[in-house]
Structure 1
């Protein structure tokens, strides 16, 4: 990167501005990684899980995939909306 002259005359590195697509991609990747890690950590067929006392109103196992998929999709959507509204660089006050 080419140095840029600062207010005091000293050289400082130029600030790289990232586009919203980079921040949105990072947010989406973080949500996807969390979803994958969570799905790998759960084993509903394990003896431990089967031995738990569960309430009668517990939803059927097939419902969890549908609900968690929509939940993580909404989290990713919120992250995308937030990164779209966030400025790419912060203004400095003097």
Structure 2
């Protein structure tokens, strides 16, 4: 169950990462409030997952999911560059997440 919560935390982190830019350096009240709520929710879910998962594994998976999602949405929505290097980096991150899950004793 805590792995599912961890994945949910990572998904919230992806949404949170996309909520930062609309705050315009935290000058817009509603986007800023949403950004803070999403960030707090992501960390809350992460802390819940850490009840039984090792801290290092949980945090690495959490940030990995966030990074993969942020890069992917950056490419698809923000028109960030789509390069071989970025795709290789994504493949390594995803491989690391899979390896962390596969080797966790839980």
TMscore range, shorter length: 0.3 to 0.5
Question: Which structure would you say has the larger Rg?
Answer: 1
Q: Hey, which of these two has a bigger chunk of helix by percent?
A: 2
TM-score, normalised by the number of residues in structure 2: 0.31
TM-score, normalised by the number of residues in structure 1: 0.34
Q: Hey, which of these two has a bigger chunk of strand by percent?
A: 1
